[in-house]
Amino acid sequence: MLFQRVIALTKKDFKRLIRDPATGFLIVLFPVILTLAFGTSFGAIGGGNQSTTYQIGLVNMDSGPYSQWAENLVGNLTTSQILKVTMYSSNETAQTDLIQGNIQAVIVIPHDFGESCISFWNAPTNPRLWVNTTIPLYLDSGSIFATQAIPPIIQQVVATTIYGEFSKPLATPIQIGSPSMVQASRLTMFDYMAPGIFAYAAIFLTMTVAQSFTTDRENGLLRRINTTPTTPAEFMLSQTISNMILALIQVALVFTMAHLVGYRPSCDASSLAMAFVIVSIFSLCNVGFGLVTATVAKSSGAATGLSFVFIMPQMFLGTFVGFALSPTAQTAGKFVPSYYVTDALTSLFLRGAPILSSTVLLDLTVVSASSIATLLIGIILFGRYGKN
Amino acid sequence: MQNHNHIRKKVRETAIVTDNLTKRFEDIVAVDELSIQVDKGELFGLLGPNGAGKTTTINILCGLLEPTKGSASVGGYDVQKEPQKVKELIGVCTQETAVYPFLTGRENVELFGSLHAMSKQRLKKNADDLLEKLGLTEDAKRRVGKYSGGMRRRINLIMALVNDPEIAFLDEPTVAMDPQSRHAVWDFIVGLKKQGKTIVLTTHYMEEAEELCDRVGIIDHGKLIALGSPEQLRKKFDAGNLEEVFIELTGRRIREGI
């Protein structure tokens, strides 16, 4: 392994980025424009400063001896500045209003909610003694941003009701979704979308990698490099390094742009560093997809189109539009790596999860394993069938 | 011991050897039992009509393709067993102008010098020298995407030779060049030969082969159909020039349906 060759090839790739307008647009301008567009439309500069509220219907079924817990939850939901709560006597009436678009979500407090809370506080460390319950939540699937924003807000309010304002997320007998520490009253729609945008920008590396490989192949440059003593390992390492650095540049650009439009995630420097690590590892996955695309595509034009085979599922199932999809599509999202990038970044930026929390580490593991596997598959396929 | 030394000396003097070299692409035989030997310091011309197997032969010798049958060695190294060693010795000027359009002429040359692990000083000296010889010093700072076709071909040639290779494969280096540029490249190739480089040149221009080559091998349908110096071939086929020899050989094969 001679690093002189690796550095020379990496430098060449950066010059392509700076000097080739198409590559420059996809890598630099696209994430900048995307972030600015969404940030100004849905963030603090745009609609975020306005008092964005969500109309939700609330049905309280708990009239048991511990109904005070349910009343506390109702109180917390009602006092939330971001929710406008309408009380319903029955789920059916609430569902009718939801179908008609009068409200964006329906929350049903189950009859055993208070009993479940009490069981938790009686034995907080012994889940076997808990009375498990679920808060049914119905969302208007036609409202993309409401479906994305409401679940973590409800999760936060429920957590506040059970634990109080500053408690750490613990296991609980009451299930809605993933644990969060969302400060709902300060969040804009863009806050919920930003983690997905980080993944969204990196996904397009698939296209640039596929285009650069097919163009170089068409122009005979891969064959030419193959007549020099450069080994496949040196060549692929240069590609890996340059694309990881590009991904880091993209994250920095997205974060800078997001900051400019008022994005202030609830995270520290370590969380930010972890986000950079996760996205840079995710770039390997897109290099792999790019290599697979370049293997199949006969020309750079075909590579552009074919790359969407990998881009679209990752974009729709794994980034900020995932919440608006059907349950089947949401399940399918768990099979695309970008889902875990968005999930990890959501945990870090939105929920304030520590970098060593189980959710973040699990996401990191899945992203790393799938990225390395995809990269290896891409290298093997391109090495065998794609070079000529 | 004396016999061993004789053999080793012989190996050193022979730059390229192919023995029954064969390459098939499914039903097509691109190279058919080709056996040639190119001596060190020789300028060897590989001639043949389009699709004769010239580029396939060069691709095998450069380690880009594996032969179906037979063997080949370059600089004493087997191209299949020690391709890395072969690549350290050679410079390849590809038929297509394989250049990065977004890099300047100098950056293209320096990139390929770096891929050959050249030191900065040596790379700069060689690049300056070659750019000057081929008249590209002034344009070396411009991006290759803005170059004319002839300039691209010249930078393509410089990229192949920047590492000062012992053995150079020049695959149609003057195709589509204007007469002035072509003669400048001829002078340059003659200069390389004077430096003791071994050169394998493929060309469609019989005048070029006649002017430059010590020996030529004419191949058609992958088979070697004539081998010798231009003068020997002219005499053998009672022809006024190499072009007549070429048409006589390749045309006859077409006429006879061989």
**H/E/C letters for each residue in chain B?**
CHHHHHHHHHHHHEEEEEEEEEEEECCEEEEEEEEEEEECCCEEEEECCCCCCHHHHHHHHCCCCCCCEEEEEECCEECCCCHHHHHHHEEEECCCCCCCCCCEHHHHHHHHHHHCCCCHHHHHHHHHHHHHHCCCCHHHHCEHHHCCHHHHHHHHHHHHHCCCCCEEEEECCCCCCCHHHHHHHHHHHHHHHHCCCEEEEEECCHHHHHHHCCEEEEEECCEEEEEECHHHHHHHCCCCCHHHHHHHHHHHHHHCCC
Angle A242-A247-A253 (CA atoms, 0-180°, nearest 5)?
Answer: 125
How many domains, in total, are found in chain A?
Answer: 2
Provide the residue range defining the domain that includes A266: 3-44+189-386
Does the ipTM surpass 0.85? yes
pLDDT at B56: 93
First to last CA, chain B: 48
- The two tokens of residue B88 are 């350290």
Q: Are residues A222 and A324 in the same domain?
A: yes
Q: Are residues A329 and A205 in the same domain?
A: yes
Indicate if the pLDDT at residue A366 is higher than 70.
yes
Instruction: Report the share of chain A in percent with pLDDT over 70.
Output: 88
Residue B173 counted as domain residue = yes
CB-based contact A55:A86 (threshold 8 Å): yes
Q: Which residue of B has its CA nearest to A238?
A: B115
pLDDT band, residue B249 (cuts 50/70/90): confident
Cβ-based contacts of B96 with chain A (< 8 Å): 219-220
The pairing of beta strand B14-25 with beta strand B28-39: antiparallel
- Whole-number Å distance between alpha carbons of B24 and B29: 4
How many domains, in total, are found in chain B?
Answer: 1
Choose the closest CB to B102 out of A8, A20, A226.
A20
The pairing of beta strand B77-78 with beta strand B69-74: antiparallel
Indicate if the pLDDT at residue A177 is higher than 60.
no
Q: Rounded to an integer, what is the distance from CA B84 to the centroid of its chain?
A: 18
How much is the average pLDDT of A260-272? 83
pLDDT tens-digit series, residues A6-37: 999 999 998 988 888 887 887 888 888 888 88
Residues in B lying within 8 Å of A, measured between beta carbons? 62-64, 84, 87-88, 90, 92, 94, 96, 98-100, 102-103, 107, 110-112, 114-117, 143, 159, 163
- Whole-number Å distance between alpha carbons of B251 and B258: 10
pLDDT band, residue B163 (cuts 50/70/90): very high
Indicate if the pLDDT at residue B255 is higher than 50.
no
**Quick one: DSSP state of residue A294?**
H
- Whole-number Å distance between alpha carbons of A14 and A246: 8
CA-nearest of A278, A269, A273, A267 to A349 is A267
Can you tell me whether residue A45 is helix, strand or coil? coil
How much is the average pLDDT of B74-97? 92
Can you tell me whether residue A11 is helix, strand or coil? helix
Q: Alpha-carbon dihedral of residues B149, B155, B159, B163, nearest 10 degrees? A: 150
Q: Which H helix or E strand runs over A210?
A: helix A205-218
Q: Are residues A204 and A141 in the same domain?
A: no
- Whole-number Å distance between alpha carbons of B83 and B192: 24
Q: Are residues A18 and A91 in the same domain?
A: no
User: Distance from B115 to chain A by nearest Cα, in Å?
Assistant: 5
Residue B120 counted as domain residue = no
pLDDT at A340: 92
Choose the closest CB to A230 out of B92, B98, B115.
B115
pLDDT at B257: 43
Read off the amino acid at residue B12.
R
Query: Model-level pTM?
Result: 0.73
Read off the amino acid at residue B109.
V
Residue B203 counted as domain residue = yes
pLDDT tens-digit series, residues A54-63: 888 999 999 8
Residue B229 counted as domain residue = yes
Cβ-based contacts of A221 with chain B (< 8 Å): 98-100
The pairing of beta strand A133-134 with beta strand A174-175: parallel
pLDDT tens-digit series, residues B14-63: 899 999 999 999 889 999 999 999 999 999 999 988 888 999 999 999 99
pLDDT at A269: 87
pLDDT at B95: 83
Cβ-based contacts of B61 with chain A (< 8 Å): none
3-class secondary structure for A226-246? HCCCCCHHHHHHHHHHHHHHH
pLDDT at A106: 87
pLDDT tens-digit series, residues B164-185: 999 999 999 888 788 888 888 8
- Whole-number Å distance between alpha carbons of B23 and B30: 6
pLDDT tens-digit series, residues A193-229: 888 888 887 888 899 899 989 999 998 999 999 999 9
Residue B80 counted as domain residue = yes
Determine the residue among A223, A228, A242, A387 to mutate to test chain B binding: the one whose Cβ has the most chain B Cβ atoms within 10 Å: A228
Residue B235 counted as domain residue = yes
pLDDT tens-digit series, residues A241-265: 988 888 888 888 888 888 888 888 8
Q: Are residues A315 and A371 in the same domain?
A: yes
Indicate if the pLDDT at residue B10 is higher than 50.
no
Can you tell me whether residue A385 is helix, strand or coil? helix
pLDDT at B67: 94
Residue B147 counted as domain residue = no
- Whole-number Å distance between alpha carbons of B62 and B74: 8
pLDDT tens-digit series, residues A70-129: 999 998 888 877 788 999 999 889 888 887 777 888 899 999 999 988 888 888 778 888
Indicate if the pLDDT at residue B133 is higher than 80.
yes
Residue A59 φ then ψ, to 5°: -120, 120
Provide the residue range defining the domain that includes B64: 14-98+169-255
pLDDT band, residue A341 (cuts 50/70/90): very high
Q: Are residues A349 and A218 in the same domain?
A: yes
pLDDT band, residue B102 (cuts 50/70/90): very high
User: How big is chain B, counted in residues?
Assistant: 258
Q: DSSP secondary structure string, A295-306?
A: HH-SSHHHHHHH
In chain A, the DSSP E strands lie at 54-60, 83-88, 105-109, 133-134, 137-139, 174-175
Cβ-based contacts of B84 with chain A (< 8 Å): 229, 231
Q: Which residue of A has its CA nearest to B163?
A: A228
Which residues sit opposite B28 in a β-bridge?
B25
Using CA atoms, how far residue B92 sits from A367, B56, B206, in Å, is 41, 13, 21
pLDDT tens-digit series, residues B185-199: 899 999 999 999 999
Using CA atoms, how far residue B140 sits from A163, A221, A341, B127, B130, in Å, is 70, 19, 44, 10, 11
Q: Are residues A147 and A197 in the same domain?
A: no
Angle A339-A343-A347 (CA atoms, 0-180°, nearest 5)?
Answer: 175
- Whole-number Å distance between alpha carbons of A207 and A287: 9
CATH code (residue B80): 3.40.50.300
